[in-house]
């Protein structure tokens, strides 16, 4: 599912878009333990509210509709 590249302190995370259900991926920077940002879905271009928690080498991601 996810590939952790500790060397680069980044990993690619996959999740399903809450609007269109397509699987999309984002690059997560592990140097920031808790992140929250808005990113447009690369498939349907609608704004996603992404919340990301990094705990040593596991990454928890949540993508929700930003208009809720």
Q: Residue with structure tokens 């929250």?
A: 36
39 binds Zn ion (CB under 5 A): no
Interface residue with Zn ion among 26, 41, 59, 61 (CB under 5 A) is 41
Q: How many CB atoms lie within 10 A of CB 28?
A: 20
Among residues 4, 10, 15, 19, the one that binds Zn ion under rule CB under 5 A: 19
How many residues bind Zn ion (CB under 5 A)? The answer is: 6
3-state secondary structure of 36: strand
- What residues line the site for Zn ion (CB under 5 A)? 17, 19-20, 41, 43-44
């Amino acid at each position: 599912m996810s590939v952790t590249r500790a060397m680069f302190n980044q990993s690619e995370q996959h999740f399903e878009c809450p609007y269109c259900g397509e699987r999309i991926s984002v690059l997560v920077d592990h140097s920031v333990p808790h992140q929250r940002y808005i990113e447009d879905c690369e498939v349907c271009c609608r704004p996603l509210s992404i919340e990301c928690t990094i705990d040593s080498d596991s990454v928890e991601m949540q993508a929700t509709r930003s208009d809720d």
